[in-house]
Amino acid sequence: MEIPSKIAVIGGGSWATALVKILSNNSNQLHWWMRNQEAIDHIQNYGHNPKYLQSVSFELNQIKLSNNLVETLDAAQWIIIATPAAFLEEAFKGIGPEHFKNKVVFSAVKGIIPKFNAIPARFIHKSFDVPYEHIGIISGPCHAEEVALERLSYLTLACPDMNLAQQMADALRCRYIQTTTSDDLFGTEFSAVLKNVYALAAGICHGLGYGDNFQAVLISNAIQEIERFIDVIHPVHRDTKTSAYLGDLLVTAYSNFSRNRTFGFMIGKGYGVKTAQLEMNMIAEGYYATKSLHQINEKFNVNMPILSAVYQIVYENKPPGQQIKLLADKLS
């Protein structure tokens, strides 16, 4: 199958940097939009991102950098969005459906747009009139930091149109990246959002001093919560024991590279939310997702005690030790 050409990556963070590293080996027309002109100048002068994954060196003759979003979108046929969910609406301010006409859009965003309580696929569809058949997600289990180190990693490409999923899978496959495909766009995307909340929970419990035995029970219950929720949201046949669901949850809940686990650990150690955010100086998508998912679940009323406990801790300022003790009595 032909590898897509004229690909644009939108974003300047770790995942955008990792995707550009992979794609620059396989695409002959790669465009990269970043908001920060200083970062662009640094990459053009020194060949690496000044802030994220600094060990990655780029073949600059294969990449066209720009801080003009309209110019970047117009130049590409395939768009990969790798901007944090909390900033997605701001990043695309002034952009309309005309800029996405006849394009394929894949999201590498692992969060919910807070203003709309919408997963990226829904935001893209509603804001830019992109048919769901032309929208996909790039999911894990995979950390950008291990991509930078060229450690063997796996990506799942989910799109209702399996031909498009396969084309993107072919574009991303390389010596250290294996890929699989799925047509479960909504289940994969909601699972990718939910696992960040459960990584917060894992970090909180670690910060409180809970051990591996409890963590195993916590995460086995977390995958059950994911399955219950996505089966209600989008009831299709799926196996949540596969890499796109369980694998992505495991790596986010256990890895030292996980921002959400780190954020949760700080909360468990007694940091306030704002202090933890300032200390990390990075986005923990699970913080924003917790509130949105809690509000969404008020409509569907799925049994989700771990989500509820995290919400009580990070938004209702309930003592973490007390809430996790109450949660422990509900797990099995």
261 and 196 in contact (C-beta within 8 Å)? no
Rounded to whole angstroms, the Cα distance separating 154 from 308 reads: 31
Arithmetic mean of pLDDT, 105-134: 95
Q: What is the pLDDT of residues 158-192, one digit of tens each?
A: 999 999 999 999 999 999 999 999 999 999 999 99
Rounded to whole angstroms, the Cα distance separating 106 from 128 reads: 13
Q: What is the model's pLDDT at position 277?
A: 85
Rounded to whole angstroms, the Cα distance separating 238 from 221 reads: 18
Say whether pLDDT at 282 is over 80: no
Least confident of 18-32, 88-102, 213-227: 18-32
Rounded to whole angstroms, the Cα distance separating 177 from 22 reads: 8
Say whether pLDDT at 264 is over 80: yes
> Measured on CA atoms in the order 285, 198, 234, 244, is the torsion positive or negative?
positive
- Domains of the chain are 7-183 (3.40.50.720), 187-328 (1.10.1040.10)
Q: What is the model's pLDDT at position 311?
A: 98
Rounded to whole angstroms, the Cα distance separating 176 from 169 reads: 13
According to DSSP H, which parts of 47-184 are helical? 69-75, 88-91, 120-128, 144-148, 162-172
Q: What region does 301 belong to: left with phi over 0, alpha with psi -120 to 50, or beta?
A: left
Rounded to whole angstroms, the Cα distance separating 267 from 252 reads: 17
Beta-sheet pairing, 153-158 with 135-139 = antiparallel
138-to-50, 82, 96 alpha-carbon distances in Å: 24, 10, 23
β partners of residue 234: none
Q: What is the model's pLDDT at position 206?
A: 98
Q: What is the model's pLDDT at position 28?
A: 66
Q: What is the model's pLDDT at position 110?
A: 86
According to DSSP H, which parts of the chain are helical? 14-23, 37-46, 69-75, 88-91, 120-128, 144-148, 162-172, 185-208, 212-233, 248-254, 259-268, 273-280, 285-300, 305-314, 320-328
159 and 172 in contact (C-beta within 8 Å)? no
Amino acid 178 reads Q
Burial readout 122-147 (b: 16 or more C-beta within 10 A, e: otherwise): bbbbebbebeeebbbbbbbbbbbbbb
Q: What is the model's pLDDT at position 1?
A: 61
Residue with tokens 């394929």: 104
Give the count of alpha carbons within 13 A of 19, CB side only: 30
| Contacts for 114 with CB less than 8 Å, ≥ 6 apart | 85, 86, 288, 291, 292
pTM: 0.94
Rounded to whole angstroms, the Cα distance separating 289 from 114 reads: 7
Say whether pLDDT at 298 is over 70: yes
Rounded to whole angstroms, the Cα distance separating 64 from 81 reads: 16
